[in-house]
Amino acid sequence: MATKMINKTLFLTYFCLFIYILLSSGVILYNKWVLSPKYFNFPLPITLTMIHMGFSGAVAFLLIRILKVVSPVKMTFEIYATCVVPISAFFASSLWFGNTAYLHISVAFIQMLKALMPVATFVVAIVCGTEKARCDVFLNMVLVSVGVVISSYGEIHFNVVGTFYQVTGIFAEALRLVLTQVLLQKKGLSLNPITSLYYIAPCSFVFLFVPWYLLEKPAMEVSQIQFNFWIFFSNALCALALNFSIFLVIGRTGAVTIRVAGVLKDWILIALSTVIFPESTITGLNITGYAIALCGVVMYNYIKVKDVRASQQPTEIIPDRITKDWRFEKRPSDIYAPLNAGNNEGSIGGNGFTSDIERR
């Protein structure tokens, strides 16, 4: 009986991981297909992101205010103005820049550039005072950076504009993650996937309206843009499903498993993108550089997990740790933060569970 229960638990855990990898890869490829001029030809990344934000906010409002599936957190005007607004601003920026990169560079190269996420988060965390400069972590960051530079040098269709947008989106996402950790934790506020969308999605929509009005609205008036309701509805639905799948994965696994799943997902996505989008050519130098960067990322993840275990081990007795295995892998900073299209996984879905768990 106990063996059956263990097998069932393992099956559900791996099933959740499979769903996460499937949805995460699917949303990225779907966004690329929608935005690319060679395919669906909807070259309006801000508009697509606003559709996602509007859909997510509406679903969250329905679940909280109408169906009352979850209760809203105690949100004061002060917390909203000082925490939610700045987080939403960087969230919107990461979505905008990340989605715009689709128009200029391939999905495979975007995934390789996203290996810079730990570097960006580490630098921003040091500047904001939430992380101390450490020699071992710094060396890992240098290794990651060298790998990304080599991968970029080997990119056949290297595009400065697309690379700039993607790297800028990565640093905007890093700022969002650090601000989420600093501001929300300071207020003792913890958000689940639904409440995150309820508060952040509408505010991000408002921030995106300004660049949309200035940059994309005039283009929509002079060009023939096709709009298929079912394409955009299914795209937004997939991004929303990804957001919820992340919550399930976090609840059933620990930081180590999530990190491994993230690395596996990136390799699968790179391989799939070359098949679905033939113009995405990968060179040996691309793979070599990305492999070097991943070595740095894996070492960084190992250091972070070891730090978490070391900090919690003295305060927990052994039986307690055995029965609560998934809990000891999480840090107090591992509050939920929605993923995003800025990291090319959909407006509400990215490469980041939290500042430490996923690099998008």
pLDDT at 259: 67
Measured between alpha carbons, how far is 326 from 309 in angstroms, rounded to an integer? 12
Helix residue ranges, H only, the chain: 2-35, 45-61, 77-79, 85-101, 107-113, 117-128, 135-153, 160-179, 185-186, 193-211, 217-222, 229-252, 255-276, 284-312, 318-323
Measured between alpha carbons, how far is 51 from 296 in angstroms, rounded to an integer? 36
Rounded to 5°, angle at Cα 179 from 52 and 197? 25
Measured between alpha carbons, how far is 353 from 360 in angstroms, rounded to an integer? 9
pLDDT at 261: 76
pLDDT at residue 28 greater than cutoff 50: yes
Q: How confident is the model at residue 47 (pLDDT cuts 50, 70, 90)?
A: very high
Residue 238 in tokens: 């997939």
Identify the helix (H) or strand (E) that includes residue 72.
none
Q: Which residue has the higher pLDDT, 283 or 212?
A: 212
Mean pLDDT of 224-231: 84
pLDDT at residue 329 greater than cutoff 50: no
Measured between alpha carbons, how far is 128 from 135 in angstroms, rounded to an integer? 18
350 within 8 A of 97, measured Cβ to Cβ: no
Measured between alpha carbons, how far is 308 from 332 in angstroms, rounded to an integer? 10
121 within 8 A of 178, measured Cβ to Cβ: yes
3-class DSSP state of 73: coil
Q: Which residue has the higher pLDDT, 186 or 208?
A: 208
What tens digit of pLDDT does each residue of 97-148 get? 999 999 999 998 998 898 888 888 888 888 888 788 888 888 888 888 898 9
Average pLDDT of every residue of the chain: 80
338 within 8 A of 243, measured Cβ to Cβ: yes
pLDDT at 355: 34
CB count, 10 Å around CB of 191? Answer: 21
45 within 8 A of 110, measured Cβ to Cβ: no
C-alpha torsion 166→171→173→179, nearest 10: -170
**Percent residues over pLDDT 70 in the chain:** 81
pLDDT at residue 354 greater than cutoff 80: no
Mean pLDDT of 294-315: 75
Question: Which residues, at least 6 apart from 141, have a Cβ–Cβ distance to it below 8 Å?
Answer: 118, 119, 122, 123, 296, 300
Q: Which residue has the higher pLDDT, 50 or 13?
A: 50
Residue 69 in tokens: 């599936």
Q: One-letter amino acid identity for 217? A: K
Q: Which residue has the higher pLDDT, 306 or 203?
A: 203
Place of tokens 């290996």: 115
SS (H, E, C) 247-281: HHHHHHCCHHHHHHHHHHHHHHHHHHHHHHCCCCC
pLDDT at residue 316 greater than cutoff 70: no
Identify the helix (H) or strand (E) that includes residue 356.
none
According to DSSP, residue 41 is labeled -
Measured between alpha carbons, how far is 351 from 346 in angstroms, rounded to an integer? 10
Q: How confident is the model at residue 254 (pLDDT cuts 50, 70, 90)?
A: low
pLDDT at residue 270 greater than cutoff 50: yes
3-class DSSP state of 347: coil
Measured between alpha carbons, how far is 261 from 267 in angstroms, rounded to an integer? 10
pLDDT at 34: 94
pLDDT at 70: 84
